[in-house]
Amino acid sequence: MDISSAKNSPTTQVKLKPVEATPETFEDYGQIIESSKDGEEFGPRDAQLDLSKGVPRFYIMRLTERKLKFSTITHHASVTQCLGAIGGGVWFLGVARPSIVEVDASEHGRVKHHVVKSHCGHFYVLPEVNDVQVFKVEGPKFLKLHRGTWHAGPLFLDETMDFYNLELSNTNEVDHTVHDFKKENGVAFVIEK
């Protein structure tokens, strides 16, 4: 879709069928962390975290009326965020693969036009409409997002849900890059049940 013409055209709804979140289906975006036996040693089934760029913040986030549609998507370049529903209820997360680009300061003026500099200071490639996917999460598990994974949600059918959230203490102030598909691409996503 031509981005320049999308800015002046009506919004197109793109329907997405959710995929069950499993370690295999979610591996391009992060990890699915499920229960393990007490005393089990640290290994690849545990969240592989990067909290090295700040003070970790672990809290319970109450969300209200997050219906199954979205038009904006966010990424965090400095942290591997973790999200999980308290009580294991059913929820959904829209995602696109990480697109952070490492650019040397001397290359700044020569970066290609499709690479954007975030207001946070890092460079990234814009997410594509066709790259967006939705995952359904249920039961006693949480998602660990790779650094830079684009995400929209959590979204759910209940009126209110509580989620635990692990990120950095200032993630939402200094590491919050947003792409608006409605504004830039003329698209909004709707999750099919």
Structural domain boundaries in the chain: 12-33+56-101+113-191
Residues 32-44 pLDDT 10s: 999 988 989 999 9
Which CATH class for the 12-33+56-101+113-191 domain? mainly beta
155, 128, 160: which is closest to 143 by C-alpha?
Answer: 155
Show the 3-state SS of 120-162. CCCEEECCCHHHCEEEEECCCEEEEECCCCEEEEEECCCCEEE
With vertex at residue 146, the alpha carbon angle to CA 121 and CA 39, rounded to the nearest 5 degrees, is: 135
186 in helix, strand or coil?
coil
Decide if pLDDT at 110 tops 80. Answer: no
Is 50 exceeded by the pLDDT of residue 179? yes
Pick the more confident residue, 6 or 92. Answer: 92
Average pLDDT rounded to a whole number, residues 65-70: 96
Find, among 101, 59, 77, the residue nearest to 151 by Cα.
Answer: 77
6 within 8 A of 187, measured Cβ to Cβ: yes
What is the pLDDT of the chain when averaged over all its residues? 91
What token pair was written down for 68? 């199954």
Q: Read off the pLDDT band of 102 (50, 70, 90).
A: confident
The rounded distance, in Å, linking the Cα atoms of 166 and 88 is: 16
Angstrom distance (rounded) from CA 167 to CA 172: 9
Q: What is the pLDDT of residue 112?
A: 57
What are residue 134's DSSP bridge partners?
94
Predicted structure pTM score: 0.89
